[in-house]
Amino acid sequence: MFKKVLVAEDLDSISIAVVQVLEELKVPVIHHVKYCDEGLLKVKKAMADKEPYDLLITDLSFKSDHRKVDLNTGDELIEAINKVQPNIKKIVFSIEDKSYRIKTLFNELGINAYVSKGRNSISELRNAIKSTFNNEEKILSSDLSFNFNDKALIEIESYDISILKLLSQGYILESISKEFKDLSITPNGTSSIEKRINKLKIYFKANNNVHLIAIAKDFGLV
């Protein structure tokens, strides 16, 4: 079993259960941080001390409070850790259940397992830890089981996200076009942007822009 595990989870009510699972599994060294920044520090320190962690279990969303932080989300934490210790095993434990988000985690951040917080997630987590230790790949908790090869959601790329972000900030088409020109993002004609929005509306079955943004918010895309 893993020898040294780092848990990044802000909610104390949840971290208690996660730590319990690790204790059950006889993990000798279990560290727990409530802020992403702390997590990165601990990983760096452990590397420097030649006693690196062999597993990270992290949440995705962290509450913001008075404290000023560099890393706001689990995604950012993983990205930062990948730069200093890319070989660390990574399990994400989050309430998020949107396939778009989760696929990105596997494909772009190289996580080993994703466990969705739910009614039986503790045993799912336990299994995921074991499977990860046995070098299984792309482990997904059973309530999710969507098709990894489904192209549909993958096709929504950062370009679309940029449009949705600006729309949600009250930009009109022309302003988005201008912003894209300033940032050298192409295509940037109002017409092209309009067309792209149209595709998104068809894809998400949205009646109009207002509806589209409401859906995007629900999906956690913006």
Specify the residue, 73 or 188, whose C-beta has the smaller distance to DNA. 188
Contact with DNA (CB under 7 A) among 189, 214, 217, 218 = 189
Specify the residue, 19 or 156, whose C-beta has the smaller distance to a second copy. 19
Using the contact rule CB under 8 A, the part of the chain among 47-55, 72-80, 187-195, 201-209 near a second copy is: 201-209
Which residue type sits at 149?
N
- For 59, residues 6+ apart whose C-beta sits below 8 A from its C-beta are 8, 9, 10, 11, 14, 74, 92, 93, 94
Q: Which does 183 bind (CB under 5 to 8 A by kind): a second copy, DNA, none?
A: none
Which x/- pattern over 190-219 shows residues binding DNA (rule: CB under 7 A)? xxx-xx-xx--x------xxx---------
Specify the residue, 52 or 216, whose C-beta has the smaller distance to a second copy. 216
Q: Which does 174 bind (CB under 5 to 8 A by kind): DNA, a second copy, none?
A: DNA
Which x/- pattern over 145-184 shows residues binding DNA (rule: CB under 7 A)? ---------------------------xxx----------
Residue 124: CB minimum distance to DNA, A: 40
Q: Which does 44 bind (CB under 5 to 8 A by kind): a second copy, DNA, none?
A: none
